[in-house]
Amino acid sequence: MDYTSTVAVASIVMAAFTTGFGTMGPALAEGKAVSTALTSLAQQPDASATITRTLFVGLAMIESTAIYCFVVSMILIFANPFWNHVIAQAAGN
């Protein structure tokens, strides 16, 4: 396998790992946050507005981590910053 193919395979594999691991953490964190919020709502129903508002802000922050991982994986697949270096190396050979 030549240098160009190695960089392509490495980019695709790293994009898969980034998406895979980058969505597992936020999914577990969102489940834990919702579970804790429901427990809090069951114990103090009169504080539901505050708990719900805080939950939604927290879920948005957690979800942004998954979105950033998705963006990094799309950059690795479609706008790989290493390709210019690979093409320059291939032209030099």
Q: What percent of the chain has pLDDT over 90?
A: 66
Q: Is the pLDDT of residue 81 over 90?
A: no
* Total structural domains within the chain: 1
Retrieve residue 36's tokens. Answer: 């804790």
| CATH at 26 | 1.20.20.10
The per-residue pLDDT for 93 is 66
The per-residue pLDDT for 7 is 83
**Structural domain of 40:** 3-92
Q: The whole model's pTM is what?
A: 0.73
Q: Is the pLDDT of residue 87 over 90?
A: no
Q: What is the pLDDT of residues 21-59, one digit of tens each?
A: 999 999 999 999 999 999 999 999 999 999 999 999 999
Nearest-CA neighbor of 55 among 83, 42, 69, 36? 36
- Alpha-carbon distance of 33 to 70, in angstroms, equals 21
DSSP-H helix ranges across the chain: 3-43, 48-78, 83-92
